[in-house]
Amino acid sequence: YAQSVSCSDLLNYVKQNGTTYNTLYGFTLNSSWLKSVTAYKVEGEIAVVAKIQREGEIFSKEYVFCGISQSRWDKFNSSWSGGTYGERFHKYIIDYQCNCY
């Protein structure tokens, strides 16, 4: 089916209407590709905005991930879950990229 909202519109909506729940920056993430990760509470849900710099690219780009459960966020955010932030991002968040174009 057709994706009804552009990713840039969705990103702006999350940032303008969501409440910042938690932000992790590069020095905490200690990742070559994950530059920042911010969780927002939007209409009772957690949306995650991640600034990602792909290999070989000069600038990072923001991506929005939808429907992240509290337990997924907690597992991503906790070193108790094992692995690096980058590994945990792949395990708990990356599959939830929002349905936008």
Q: Is the CB of residue 25 less than 8 Å from the CB of residue 38? A: no
Torsion, Cα of 59, 60, 61, 65 (10° steps): 170
Q: What are phi and psi of 50, to 5 degrees?
A: -115, 130
Which residues are within 8 A (CB) of 53 and not within 5 positions of it... i.e. 6 or more apart? 32, 33, 35, 59, 60, 61
pTM of the model: 0.92
In a structure prediction context, what are the per-residue pLDDT tens digits for the chain, which is 101 residues long? 446 899 999 999 999 999 999 999 999 999 999 999 999 999 999 999 999 999 999 999 999 999 999 999 999 999 899 999 999 999 999 999 999 98
